[in-house]
Chains A and B, each alone.
Chain A
C-alpha cells in the first residue's frame, strides 16, 4: 500500500466527515440549549433525504439547490414538534424523554416506510460517476460538493449564533434559562426556534448525504447512533466540536477500514467513543459540566 492510496482514503474520509459533522451539529445545538437528547435525529434526517429525493425526481431540483427548501421544511417540522409535544417534557427524567423521542422516531420511520416502501432509493446526477484528478489524488466530485456545502452551512450557523439577536438570545437561554426568563426572553419560543434550527441542520445534511448514500427507511437508527458518537467525541453542545467529531469519525472509519478490516470499522468508532467518554466525558472541545 503506497502513499497515494493513503492520501486518497484520507481525503475521502475527511470529506465525508464534514457532512457527518453537519448532521451532528443539529443534535449538538438541541442538546446544548435544551438538554434534550434527540433520539429521533436519524429519522428526521431520513425524512430530509426523502424530501430531497422527491424534489429531484418530481421537480428536477438537484440536492444542493434544494437544500434551503428542505432545511426550511425541517425547521417547521422541528419547531412544531417542540411546541406541541416535546416542550411539556423538558423537565422530565432522561428515560422518559428518551422514550418520547423514540416513539416519535418509530412513527416517523414507519410513516416513511408506508409512503416510500422499503426499497433503497438513490438519485443519479451527471456528477454521480465523476471524479476530480488532482495529481495522484482521485476526488469524488459529489463528495467534494457535499463537503464544501456542509462547511458553508456550518459557517452560516456559527455566524447566526454569533451575530444575530436571536442567536445571542438562544445562547443566553443555554447558559442560564432562569436568567433568560428573568430578563424577559420568551424561552418557549426560543426553544422551539432552536429545535427548528437543529432540525434544519439535519435537513441540510440529509440533502448532501443523498449525494453520497442511498436512502431507505431503516437508515435512521444507524444515523442516530452515528450522530451521538460524533457529538460526544467533539463535545455535546459545542459547534466546533461537532464538526471536529464528524471529521474524526470520517477519518477513523476510513483508516481503520484500510488498516484493520472494513467490517470492523464501526467497532473502531465505538471504541473511540468509549475512550473519549472515559478520558474526557465532556468531549474534546466541550466545556466541563
Chain B
C-alpha cells in the first residue's frame, strides 16, 4: 500500500495562516490566474510520487518529498484537487520500476519523480508502456528527452542545458568582479550525472568563447571516502580557480581537503551541481563554506509564490534547507495539478494533452513560463549564481535577481577569522 500523504493539520493551519499573512489568498490566487472559488474538477488527481526516500540518496529524496508535500495546502486553497500517492524507490531503479507499476495499478493517474537518472529512466519506460503521463521533477540525464518518450515531461535542465547555463554565467561573474582568470581545474564525480555534465562542458567550452581554459580534469569515484589525492592533484595543476561537479558528501570532502592542503585559488565554483548550497555543507564547513558558488536554477525572487513557499517551508522545517530540490518538486506537483485542472478529467490521454499545452507563468523557479517542447523538455529554465555568504546561499547574479554582490576572488582560507 502506498501511504497517501496527509499533511498534519497543524501544518496545514500554519501554512494557511502564513499564506494569508504573506499575500492574501485572493490576491495570490488571482496572480496565478485562477479565482479561488473556481469549480473543482470532479475527481481529484492521484499523483504517484516516486522518490528515493531511503538508500544512498535518501537525504535528497526526503528533501524532494518535503517539497512535494509542503505546497499541498496552498494548492488546495487555489482550487486544485490533488492527492499524492507516495512510493519509495529505495535509490534503486529496479524498485522504482515495480513501485511505478504498483502506483499505476492502485489508480495513479500521473507519476512524478524520481531525482536520480537511472530510476527516472526506468520509470519513464513504465510510463511509456502504460501510457501514463510522467512529470520529471529533477533528473539531468539527457537521454530522458532524447528517447522519443511521449509521456515524459521534464521541468529540469538536461545536463547539457545545465552546463551551458552554468558556463555562460562565468562570463557574467568575471564581468561583475572585473577579474578574469585564465585557467581552471575541473573536479567531477564519475557517475551518470557527472559524466553527462562533463560531456556538456567539453562540448560547450570551445563554442562559448570563454576566457579561461580547463587545464586539468580529475574524475573521482562516487564511493570515494577520502579525496586527498584528488585535491593534491588539483593543487599541482596550479590553476586560477576550481570548478566542481559534485553530489553532497563529496562536495564536503572536497572543500575540507582543499582547506587542509591550503589550496587557495580565486574561488571554488560549480557550473551546476548539487552540494555546495546544501545546509549539510554549510554546517560541516562553517566559515570555509563561504564564497563557494554554484550556477544552478534557483528560486525567482520576483515570483510571489516563491516567497510564500520559502517562508512556509522555513516555518515548517527550520532545520532543513529550502533549496532547488524543494522548489522543483513543488513545481512538479503544481504542473500536474494545473494539467489536471485544464484537462477536467483524469483520463491519461487528456492529461497528457493538457501537459503538452502547459503554460504556467506563475511559478517559483527562474526562467519564465513553464512550457514543454515536443520532446517533453521545458526550455524556460535559467540558472543563477548562488554564492554562500555569511553562511547562507545567496543569489548574486544575474543582477536583476541579486540579493548581494558577488565576492570573487575569494579570500584565502587562512585569512578567515
A83 at the interface (CB under 8 A from B): no
Contacts of A129 in B (CB 8 A): 256, 259-260, 288, 413
User: By the criterion CB–CB under 8 Å, are A266 and B226 in contact?
Assistant: no
B260 x A131 contact (CB < 8 A): yes
Known: A5-B236, A120-B280, A122-B284. A214 touches B252 (CB 8 A): yes
List A contacts of B248 (CB < 8 A).
Answer: 120
Also in contact, A118 and B55, with CB within 8 A (given A216-B249, A257-B233): yes
Decide yes or no whether B253 CB sits under 8 A from chain A.
yes
In the docked arrangement, what's the CA distance between A120 and B285, Å? Answer: 13
CB A247 to nearest CB in B, in angstroms, measures 15
A residues 1-41 touching B (CB-CB < 8 Å): 1-2, 5, 8-9, 12-13, 16
B43 at interface by CB-CB < 8 Å: no
Kindly state whether residue B36 has any CB partner on chain A within 8 Å: no
Q: Is residue B30 within 8 Å, beta carbon to beta carbon, of the partner chain?
A: no
As a 0/1 sequence over residues 27 to 47 of chain B, the CB contacts with chain A under 8 angstroms (1 = contact) are 000000000000000000000
Binds A, one of B117-125, B214-222, B329-337: B214-222
Is B175's beta carbon under 8 Å from chain A?
Answer: no
Q: With A9-B232, A118-B54 known to touch, is A265 a contact of B221 (CB < 8 Å)? A: yes
How far is B187's CA from A262's CA once the two chains are assembled, in angstroms? Answer: 10
Q: How many residues of B contact A (CB 8 A)?
A: 36
Closest to B54 in A: A118
Is B223 in contact with chain A by the CB < 8 A criterion?
yes
Q: Please, which residue of chain B has its CB at the minimum distance from the CB of A138?
A: B261
Let me know if B1 is at the binding interface, CB within 8 A: no
- Within the complex, the shortest CB–CB distance from B294 to chain A, in Å, comes to 19
Which of chain A's residues 127-170 have a Cβ closer than 8 Å to chain B? 128-131, 138, 140
The answer to whether A218 and B56 have CB atoms under 8 Å apart is yes
Contacts of A212 in B (CB 8 A): 225-226
Interface residues on A, range: 35 or more
Q: A76 to chain B: which residues have CB within 8 Å?
A: none
Cβ-defined contact, A262 with B256, below 8 A? no
Q: Which residue of A lies closest to B288 (CB)?
A: A129
Judge whether A262 and B233 touch: CB under 8 Å.
yes
Contacting residue for B230 out of A122, A213, A262, CB 8 A: A262
Contact of B218 among A12, A138, A262 (CB under 8 A): A262
- Cα A214 to Cα B252 in complex, Å, equals 9
Say yes or no: B59 contacts A119, CB within 8 Å: yes
A118-B59, A120-B249, A120-B252 known; A222-B262 Cβ under 8 A: no
Contact A118 B58 (CB under 8 A): yes
Q: Which of A16, A119, A120, A261 touches B226 (beta carbons < 8 Å)?
A: A16
Separation of A219 and B249 alpha carbons in the complex (Å): 12
| A12: B residues at CB distance < 8 A | 228-229, 232
A119 touching B280, Cβ below 8 Å: yes
Check A258–B56 contact: CB distance below 8 A.
no
Q: Provided the pairs A122-B284, A128-B256 are in contact, do residues A257 and B229 lie with their beta carbons within 8 angstroms? A: yes
Q: A5-B236, A138-B262 are in contact. Are A258 and B229 (CB under 8 A)?
A: yes
Q: Tell me which residues across on chain B come within 8 A of A263, comparing CB atoms.
A: 190, 219-221
Interface of B is mostly: helix
Distance in angstroms between the alpha carbons of A166 and B284 in the assembled complex: 44
* B232 touching A8, Cβ below 8 Å: yes
Query: For residues 85 through 125 of chain A, which have their beta carbon under 8 Å from a beta carbon of chain B?
Result: 113, 117-120, 122, 124
Residue B390 CB within 8 A of the other chain: no
Give the CA-CA distance A122 to B58 in the complex, in Å: 17
Instruction: Select B229's contact among A1, A124, A262, beta carbons within 8 Å.
Output: A262
A202 interface contact, C-beta 8 A:
no
Say whether A254 faces chain B, with CB atoms less than 8 Å apart: yes
Complex interface: chain B residues within 8 A of A214 (CB): 249, 252-253, 284
Q: Is the CB of B221 within 8 A of A122?
A: no
Q: Given known contacts A122-B284, A131-B261, is B221 in contact with A1 (CB within 8 Å)?
A: no
Q: Which of A1, A2, A140, A261 contacts B228 (CB 8 A)?
A: A140
Name which residue of chain A comes closest to B227, CB basis: A262
A43 at interface (Cβ–Cβ under 8 A)? no
Chain A residues lying within 8 Å of B10, measured Cβ to Cβ, are none
Q: Once the chains are docked, how many angstroms separate the CA of A194 from the CA of B248?
A: 39
In the complex, what's the smallest C-beta–C-beta distance from A272 to chain B, in angstroms? Answer: 16
Binary A-proximity of B309-336 (CB < 8 A = 1, otherwise 0)? 0000000000000000000000000000
In the complex, which of the residues B54, B228, B280, B286 has the most CB atoms of chain A within 10 Å of its own CB atom?
B228
**Is B21 engaged at the interface, CB distance under 8 Å to the other chain?**
no
Q: How far is the CB of B79 from chain A (nearest CB, A)?
A: 37
Q: Nearest B residue to A215 by beta-carbon distance?
A: B225
Asked if B249 and A258 sit within 8 Å, CB to CB, the answer is no
A250 to B, closest residue via Cβ: B226
Q: Closest CB of chain B to A177's CB: distance in Å?
A: 37
Task: Please provide the chain B residues from 199 to 239 with a CB less than 8 Å away from any CB of chain A in the complex.
Answer: 218-221, 223-230, 232-233, 235-236
- Pick the contact of A266 from B221, B235, B259 — CB < 8 Å? B221
Pick from A131, A218, A261: contact of B219, CB under 8 Å: A261
Contact A262 B280, beta carbon cutoff 8 Å: no
Task: Tell whether, in the assembled complex, residue B229 and residue A253 are in contact, meaning their CB atoms are under 8 Å apart.
Answer: yes
The residue among A124, A129, A219, A253 with the most chain B CB atoms within 10 A of its own CB is A129
Known: A8-B232, A16-B228, A216-B249. 18 other contacts (CB 8 A): A12-B229, A12-B232, A124-B284, A131-B261, A213-B225, A213-B253, A214-B249, A214-B253, A218-B55, A218-B56, A254-B228, A257-B230, A262-B221, A262-B224, A262-B229, A262-B233, A263-B190, A265-B221
4 closest pairs, A vs B, by CB? A118-B58, A257-B229, A263-B190, A263-B219
In the assembled complex, 26 residue pairs joining A and B whose CB atoms fall closer than 8 Å, in A order, are A5-B236, A12-B232, A118-B56, A118-B58, A120-B248, A120-B252, A122-B284, A128-B256, A130-B260, A131-B262, A140-B228, A212-B225, A213-B225, A213-B226, A213-B253, A214-B249, A214-B284, A218-B56, A254-B228, A258-B229, A258-B233, A261-B218, A262-B221, A262-B230, A263-B219, A265-B221
Interface residues in chain A, defined as those with a beta carbon under 8 Å from any beta carbon in chain B? 1-2, 5, 8-9, 12-13, 16, 113, 117-120, 122, 124, 128-131, 138, 140, 212-214, 216, 218-219, 222, 253-254, 257-258, 261-263, 265-266
